[in-house]
Amino acid sequence: MQTCGRHSIYRVPLYRGFFVRTFKTLPVVDIAALVKDDKESAAQLRAAKDLHAACRDVGFFYAVSHGVPASITDGVLLEARQWFNLPAHVKQEISLGPETCYRGYQQLGSNVTRFDGGFQRDHHEAIDLYKEESDRDASPLHGRNQWPVQRPSFDTSLQQYADACLGVGQAIMRGIALGLGLPGDYFESPEGGGTTAESSYWVMRAIHYPPLSQGEGQLGQAASQAVAGAEVERHVQLSCGEHTDYGLLTLVNQEPHIPALQVKNAAGEWITAAPIPGSFVCNIGDMLKVYTNGLYEPTAHRVINADPSRSRVSIPFFYEPAFEAQVAPIPALVPAGSAPNFGSVRYGTHLENKVLNNFELEPQASSVGEA
């Protein structure tokens, strides 16, 4: 039986998919008919079929014809770049911590990626925003966001971008439901978790990846060093360490011309998700593995900005279940007479287990320079 604590669901190998997931490229899916909500048209069923193949065989795809104007997607990247150029003390006005419900700014090296027995520091700075939540007592994550109000135009474009992504996320989830042979609104219905653009416990991260120091970002350079207590800090610099995403569906808006996001196939090869202008790079999260009884697997990915001459900005948007959603295998996807492969997971609990372990906020032994 699966649990979602330390031994998280994505660490369990699923050999069934081993021979299938040998992709060398990522599929491109035209989602226009889903965004238009062109109900069960041939084009919509085509898109649903393509999503099904992409989710089952790769776990990643480019979504094109999503209908979000370039003024919004390009504009928010430009605004983010300018915000990250502000002096450190200005950015730190919205620093995150437990007291800000993990919402706000994290400086370079404070986000970490965990592995069994230790962690490594990610080489990025970021702003984390979540669905606004006034009930502070219900979870350490519930609270108000710290928007980057120092640049009101960034604040406004982030809000517009989030609204647009919520629409796209809901449309793609309708396509994923159809592709699984379910009613298009399955994930919006109470038995499917009740996730809508209104209820989704969405996350948005504006991320700035400065160049890695020369020679870093390469495999084989890992050096582990024991620190006080049992935890080990691994001193290998990656822009973002290998991980899977936590919820349903991630949409990544990335700057053009800087290939840095890498996706792991079943042979352990890293396939670069090079930017395609006008697209979102999409991937599925841990909760879709549970819903599909293991048919769809969240694919491990990482970020290496290997270009020594320039930094990279990306703004992933995470379309996630409602916080209180109880996620369990969809009965229609469990073979008759078999027990489900996973037990029920409360999404908010899975998210807390992740986020509360994502930061090492105390000062570092070896300091990293400012971006």
Ligand X SMILES: N=C(N)NCCCC[C@H](N)C(=O)O
Ligand Y SMILES: O=C(O)CCC(=O)C(=O)O
List of residues contacting ligand X (CB under 6 A): 111-113, 122, 203, 240-241, 243, 245-246, 318, 354, 358
Measured from the CB atom, the residue of 23 and 246 that comes closer to ligand X is: 246
Measured from the CB atom, the residue of 148 and 192 that comes closer to ligand Y is: 148
The Cα–Cα gap between 58 and 266 comes to 9
Instruction: Return the residues of window 272-301 that contact ligand Y according to CB under 6 A.
Output: 301
Give which of ligand X, ligand Y, Fe ion, none residue 66 binds (C-beta under 5 to 8 Å, depending on kind).
Answer: none
Residue type for position 281: V
Nearest to 25 by CA among 298, 276, 302: 276
Measured from the CB atom, the residue of 9 and 177 that comes closer to ligand Y is: 9
The Cα–Cα gap between 17 and 355 comes to 28
To ligand X, the closest distance from the beta carbon of 242 in angstroms equals 8
The Cα–Cα gap between 106 and 180 comes to 38
The answer to whether 245 contacts Fe ion (rule: CB under 5 A) is: yes
Task: Specify the stretch interacting with Fe ion by CB under 5 A; choose among 119-127, 169-177, 244-252, 326-334.
Answer: 244-252
Tokens representing residue 370 in the block: 């400012």
Measured from the CB atom, the residue of 192 and 241 that comes closer to Fe ion is: 241
The answer to whether 122 contacts Fe ion (rule: CB under 5 A) is: no
The answer to whether 203 contacts ligand Y (rule: CB under 6 A) is: no
Nearest to 176 by CA among 51, 284, 67: 51
Give which of Fe ion, ligand X, ligand Y, none residue 314 binds (C-beta under 5 to 8 Å, depending on kind).
Answer: ligand Y
The answer to whether 128 contacts ligand Y (rule: CB under 6 A) is: no
CB-based contact 111:126 (threshold 8 Å): yes
Q: What is the DSSP letter of 295?
A: S
Contact pattern for ligand Y over residues 222 through 251, marking x by CB under 6 A: ------------------x----x------
> How would you class 98 by CB atoms within 10 Å of its CB: exposed for 0-12, middle for 13-18, buried for 19 or more?
exposed
Give which of ligand Y, ligand X, Fe ion, none residue 246 binds (C-beta under 5 to 8 Å, depending on kind).
Answer: ligand X
To ligand X, the closest distance from the beta carbon of 65 in angstroms equals 25
**Which residues, including other chains, have CB under 8 Å from residue 195's CB and lie 6 or more apart?**
173, 187, 188, 248, 320, 321, 322, 325
Tokens representing residue 196 in the block: 């809508």
φ, ψ of residue 316 in degrees (nearest 5): -75, 145
**Chosen residue from 66, 142, 205, 264 binding ligand Y by CB under 6 A:** 205
Instruction: For Cα atoms 115, 120, 125, give the angle at the middle one, nearest 5 degrees.
Output: 125
| Residues near ligand Y, by CB under 6 A | 205, 207, 240, 245, 252, 254, 261, 301, 303, 314, 316
